[in-house]
């Protein structure tokens, strides 16, 4: 493969995961589980795992459900086939982030997928995963997130979910009034956990040992649930992966983004309610216009409070989650948190996701933006600390490493610090494995995903993330990361010491993994008082 592989090709390959297990019909009686909505039929796949795909956990959000909180799924009679992926959330097909063309898009998208070793009375740990994609793209149905390997190897139940995205899930307005949240996608994820609590025992899972986790935007949802009262009691462990700076879109930006949406639609500012009845395609077109402006935003604050993400709505979120965490309001649950070591280093993946990435990381532009955020003196101190630690890196790579830490590593550290003040609550990790694939170079954002799920075993996935079929060392690393996730789900503990402010023990996942006390302390301390 070459670097000419398009983002669309990447998502098609990863979405299909053509070497993933397939259903084997007729080999045994089709497994049936009884849920609160009705009975569902799954199938045993070629990995020997029972899989249910496209199981609805809430009602359709089309029509009267648009821009409203999720509602209970209507019941059905008979047995419902759940053998194929359900509809995914509406999202733009712009060839950069891409649309998963093999999946149907619909506002009736609130469904989940389940992989379980067996439908029996064994109360297995449950791992619920929330996908990333900047709150505007992605799906829990991707083959990248196939739960077969994890479920079979570690005797756990794996669940992946779909939630509303973009203008449908995180609208910068409250069309139905101030009592209706603007964080509908977050409410969808909470509704999925409510469904799991009520139903997962029918799939061989333990509703009292639920680990919720997510990556990127999903990691932000995972961490944010720790400060949202509605999520209390729905899970017992959390693993936010590569969460970004936990802020919200403030009211002023919401007004600006809403005005941009209405302008793109040619609708007067006083006619916001017309959005409830517009075709899905029209809203997606307007979303694409506003999102493109957000990607090109010059203001660094606009870059971290982009259109269609977590919103300050005074219902679900009345303050930035990072502020609530800093005040000690994060839930009392064991939490494993971390990121990759080169999340925002320039790579084909970065440039395809955001064509302005290279220009933003140019030293003069980058430093000007950072000065606007943290001041000239602090910016000079940051640049000096990183130049000392990485004397041989180019300026553009140094800017990528600083961005990685500002937006990913340090927010993870802050959460670990908050939990680490209490015994037995926090564990930390970093992923330093460096891929050589056509899209993912180095320890880039999302390089860790196929390791957590074990899907590097599938050649199409390995080709994109690794650049070659997985080696024994890479498969060993994947096995370690899967074991970590399953062990944490089972016991609420990792296999290395807890994160405490005194020692800051951190697992460094790589081809030769190790546990390190306070990795890179100078570049951690330089952010004190800046990143909350």
Q: Would you say residue 265 lies in a domain?
A: no
The confidence score (pLDDT) of residue 212 equals: 98
Instruction: Check: CB of residue 161 under 8 Å from CB of residue 40.
Output: no
DSSP string, 138-198: --TT-GGG--HHHHHHHT-EEEEE----HHHHS-SS-TT-TTS-S-HHHHHHHHHHHHHHH
Catalytic residue flag (residue 139): no
pLDDT in tens, the chain (532 residues): 333 334 444 444 455 444 456 655 555 678 999 999 999 999 999 899 999 999 999 999 999 999 999 999 999 999 999 999 999 999 987 544 444 778 999 999 999 999 999 999 999 999 999 999 999 999 999 999 999 999 999 999 999 999 999 999 999 999 999 999 999 999 999 999 999 999 999 999 999 999 999 999 999 999 999 999 999 999 999 999 999 999 999 999 999 999 999 999 999 999 999 999 999 999 999 999 999 998 888 888 888 999 999 999 999 999 999 999 999 999 999 999 999 999 998 776 666 666 777 778 889 999 999 998 999 999 999 999 999 999 999 999 999 999 999 999 999 999 999 999 999 999 999 999 999 888 888 999 999 999 999 999 999 899 989 999 999 999 999 999 999 999 999 999 999 999 999 999 999 999 999 999 999 999 999 999 887 6
Q: What is the CATH number of the domain that holds 95?
A: 3.40.50.1820
The confidence score (pLDDT) of residue 7 equals: 41
The confidence score (pLDDT) of residue 240 equals: 98
Q: Which position among 187, 260, 343, 474 bears the catalytic label?
A: 343
Classify 467 in phi/psi space as left (phi over 0), alpha (psi -120 to 50) or beta.
left
Q: Which position among 445, 474, 500, 513 bears the catalytic label?
A: 445
Q: Would you say residue 148 lies in a domain?
A: yes
Dihedral, CA of residue 220, residue 398, residue 351 and residue 459, to nearest 10 = -80
Q: CA-to-CA distance for 247 and 322, rounded, in angstroms? A: 6
pTM of the model: 0.94
Q: Would you say residue 280 lies in a domain?
A: no
Q: Would you say residue 269 lies in a domain?
A: no
Q: Would you say residue 324 lies in a domain?
A: yes
The confidence score (pLDDT) of residue 80 equals: 97
The confidence score (pLDDT) of residue 8 equals: 42
Catalytic residue flag (residue 181): no
Q: CA-to-CA distance for 366 and 300, rounded, in angstroms? A: 9
Q: CA-to-CA distance for 194 and 304, rounded, in angstroms? A: 30
Instruction: Check: CB of residue 466 under 8 Å from CB of residue 491.
Output: no
Q: Would you say residue 267 lies in a domain?
A: no
Q: Which position among 141, 181, 216, 242 bears the catalytic label?
A: 216
Backbone angles phi, psi at 386, to 5 degrees: -75, -35
Measured CA to CA in angstroms, residue 397 lies from 40, 249, 356, 366, 431 at distances of: 50, 29, 15, 11, 18
Domain count, the chain: 1
Catalytic residue flag (residue 216): yes
Q: Would you say residue 531 lies in a domain?
A: no
Domain containing 459: what range? Answer: 7-251+305-525
Q: Would you say residue 286 lies in a domain?
A: no
């Amino acid at each position: 493969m070459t670097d000419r592989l398009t983002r669309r090709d990447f998502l098609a390959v990863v979405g299909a995961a053509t070497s993933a297990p397939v259903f084997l019909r007729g080999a045994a009686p089709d497994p049936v589980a009884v849920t609160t909505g009705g009975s569902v039929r799954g199938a045993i796949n070629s990995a020997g795992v029972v899989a249910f795909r496209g199981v609805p956990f809430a009602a359709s959000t089309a029509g009267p459900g648009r821009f409203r909180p999720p509602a209970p799924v209507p019941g059905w009679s008979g047995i419902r086939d759940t053998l194929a992926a359900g509809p995914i959330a509406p999202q733009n097909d712009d060839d950069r982030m891409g649309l998963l063309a093999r999946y149907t898009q619909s506002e009736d998208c609130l469904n989940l997928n389940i992989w379980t070793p067996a439908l029996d009375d064994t109360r297995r740990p449950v791992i619920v995963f929330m996908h990333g994609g900047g709150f505007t793209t992605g799906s829990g149905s991707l083959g990248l997130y196939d739960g077969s390997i994890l479920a079979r190897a570690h005797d756990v139940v794996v669940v992946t979910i779909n939630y509303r995205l973009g203008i449908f899930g995180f609208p910068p307005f409250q069309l139905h009034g101030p009592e209706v949240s603007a964080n509908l996608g977050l409410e969808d994820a909470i509704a999925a956990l409510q469904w799991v609590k009520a139903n997962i025992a029918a799939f061989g899972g333990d509703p009292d040992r639920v680990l919720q986790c997510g990556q990127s935007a999903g990691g932000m949802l995972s961490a944010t649930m720790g400060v949202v009262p509605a999520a209390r009691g729905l899970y017992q462990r959390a693993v936010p992966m590569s969460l970004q700076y936990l802020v919200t879109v403030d009211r002023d930006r919401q007004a600006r983004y809403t005005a941009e949406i209405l302008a793109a639609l040619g609708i007067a500012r006083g006619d916001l309610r017309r959005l409830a009845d517009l075709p899905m395609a029209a809203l997606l077109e307007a979303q694409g216009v506003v999102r493109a402006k957000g990607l090109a935003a010059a203001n660094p604050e606009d870059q971290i409070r982009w259109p269609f993400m977590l919103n300050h709505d005074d219902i679900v979120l009345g303050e930035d989650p990072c502020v609530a965490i800093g005040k000690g309001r994060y839930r009392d649950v064991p939490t494993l948190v971390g990121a990759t070591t080169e999340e925002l280093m320039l790579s084909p993946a970065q440039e395809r996701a955001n064509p302005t990435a290279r220009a933003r990381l140019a030293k003069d532009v980058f430093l000007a933006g950072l000065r606007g955020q943290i001041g000239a003196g602090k910016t000079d101190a940051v640049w000096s600390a990183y130049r000392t630690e990485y004397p041989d890196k180019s300026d553009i790579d140094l800017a990528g490493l600083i961005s990685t830490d500002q937006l990913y590593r340090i927010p993870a550290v802050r959460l670990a610090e908050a939990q680490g003040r209490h015994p037995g609550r926090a564990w930390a990790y970093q992923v330093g494995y460096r891929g050589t694939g056509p899209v993912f170079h180095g320890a880039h954002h999302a390089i860790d995903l196929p390791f957590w799920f074990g899907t590097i075993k599938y050649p199409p996935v390995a080709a994109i993330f690794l650049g070659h079929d997985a080696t024994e060392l890479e498969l060993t690393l994947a096995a370690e990361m899967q074991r970590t996730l399953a062990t944490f789900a089972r016991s609420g503990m990792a296999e290395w010491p807890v994160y405490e402010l005194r020692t800051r023990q951190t697992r460094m996942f790589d081809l030769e993994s190790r546990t390190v006390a306070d990795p890179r302390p100078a570049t951690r301390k330089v952010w004190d008082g800046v990143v909350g």
